Amino acid sequence: MIKALGSTAADKPLAVMDIQRRSPLADDVQMDILFCGICHSDLHQLKNDFGGTTYPVVPGHEIVGKVTAVGGDVTRFKIGDIVAVGCIVDSCRECSPCRGDLEQYCEKGTTYSYNTPDRHLGGMTLGGFSQTYVCREQYVLRMPAGLDPAAAAPLLCAGITVYSPLKHWQAGAGKVVGILGIGGLGHVAIRIAKAMGAHVVVFTTSPAKVEDAKRLGAHDAVLSTDPEQMKAYVSKLDMVLDTVSAKHDVNDYLKLLKIDGSVVLVGLPAEPLEISPFNVVKGRRSFSGSNIGGIAETQEMLEFCAEHGIVADVELIQPQMINEAFDRLEKGDVKYRFVVDMGPLK
Ligand code: NAP
Ligand code: ZN
Ligand code: ZN
């Protein structure tokens, strides 16, 4: 048994509980968890926003750890290595998406780090707000030496979730890319899109973040509640990466696209979003979405961030402050990612 921070119902806070991890199998890597970031998806899952949470739930999928044991078939990791685990911990490895390094779209169902059926112990997987993790070698990431492990933890979800669509939609030199919603995902997206060479415009509902956007690397920032500022960008953007966690009007952003431009949703508001047909018909515009990123692409993203010196702006907290941190995240009071120092969990 090990200690974890879990919740037994949507209206209950996280509390210390005992959970079980499997003993490492031949292709497993076992790690002590050093740091785990708090993603807004953890908040959605705790509150059962999507209706699929099985309790008790132990969230946490931005995991950085130190290897403590490896199975007999493991070749890429050894005891003492600093490693990372993100959202994906297993998949069928046979279907077409899995063979194409798109494990996040596995046809048999991706196994996530928590709240999906556990292929070994039965029950549901339990996440990174815990003392240890055990993961198949193929789903463990190498942490580049140049990255601070606490500040790099959010790259394991926030980083890959924005890197994958920015790359897929070819954000780069000559492209004007809007980043919508400056939270954990959005602030990392500014840095990655800029490093890819794009001209980056931030859209935020928070006046203080308009000020902060330039420090984060944006070329321009727009207060999205001001219609005059929004008008200046009509038909000017190649892509908008939408990271907003709550219901909002995506039509305001479809109007900002050039011909053939795309609004790409990564945020997961619990309610459906409405689209006016004219906003996609006019200008042959697209509205689409993207789910995290595959394992090979996550490793590529970590190397890219190491090369460009990109990490998250984090507020490091102790395990006993985790409920306060979730309350603050819900209010939008975080600059820009909480990371829990898991070492002190007793
Ligand atoms: P976060 O840190 O809470 O940031 C969300 C941002 O959205 C806020 O900072 C705020 O930005 C904006 N926002 C919040 N409520 C709003 C509202 N009512 N109207 C307009 N803007 C609002 O969350 P996060 O961790 O970055 O996650 C963002 C979303 O992505 C969540 O829904 C999460 O579940 C989802 N997600 C999806 C994936 C995926 O694979 N697709 C992966 C990870 C997370 P401003 O203050 O700048 O307006
Ligand atoms: Zn996440
Ligand atoms: Zn598969």
Answer yes or no: do 20 and 136 share one domain. yes
What ligand is nearest to the CA atom of residue 241? Answer: 1
Q: Tell me, yes or no, whether 219 and 231 share the same domain.
A: yes
Same domain for 6 and 150, yes or no, is: yes
Same domain, 177 and 247: yes
Residue 71: domain span: 2-157+312-341
Residues 187 and 143 in one domain: no
Give the residues surrounding ligand 1 with Cβ less than 6 Å away.
39-41, 44, 157, 161, 181-186, 204-206, 209, 243-246, 248, 266-268, 291-292, 329, 332
Span from the CA of 188 to the centroid of ligand 1 (angstroms) = 12
Q: Are residues 142 and 162 in the same domain?
A: no
Which ligand has the minimum distance to the alpha carbon of residue 91?
Answer: 3
Q: Report pLDDT for 44.
A: 97
Note the pLDDT of residue 97: 98
Ligand 1 atom index nearest CA of 38:
25
Token pair belonging to 126 = 């339990």
Looking at residue 116, what is its pLDDT?
97
The number of distinct structural domains making up the chain is 2
Report how far ligand 2's centroid is from the alpha carbon of 38 (Å): 8
The CATH number covering residue 99 comes to 3.90.180.10
Whether 294 is covered by a domain: the verdict is no
In a domain, 305, yes or no: no
Domain co-membership, 10 together with 40: yes
Q: 139 lies in a domain?
A: yes
Please report whether residue 303 resides in a domain. Answer: no
pLDDT digits (tens, 9 = 90+) for 142-162: 999 999 999 999 999 999 999
CATH number, position 261: 3.40.50.720
pLDDT at 346: 81
Decide if 301 is inside a domain.
no
Is 19 within the bounds of a domain?
Answer: yes
Domain finish residue from 289, 304, 328: 289
Instruction: Tell me, yes or no, whether 173 and 77 share the same domain.
Output: no
pLDDT beneath 70: ranges in the chain: none
Say if residue 162 is in the same domain as residue 149. Answer: no
Whether residues 166 and 273 fall in one domain? yes
* 221 and 265 fall within a common domain: yes
> What's the gap in Å between 111 CA and the centre of ligand 3?
10
CA of 310 to the centre of ligand 1 (A): 20
- Indicate whether 330 belongs to any domain: yes
Domain-embedded: residue 299: no
* pLDDT at site 37: 98
Looking at the structure, tell me whether residues 192 and 88 fall in a common domain: no
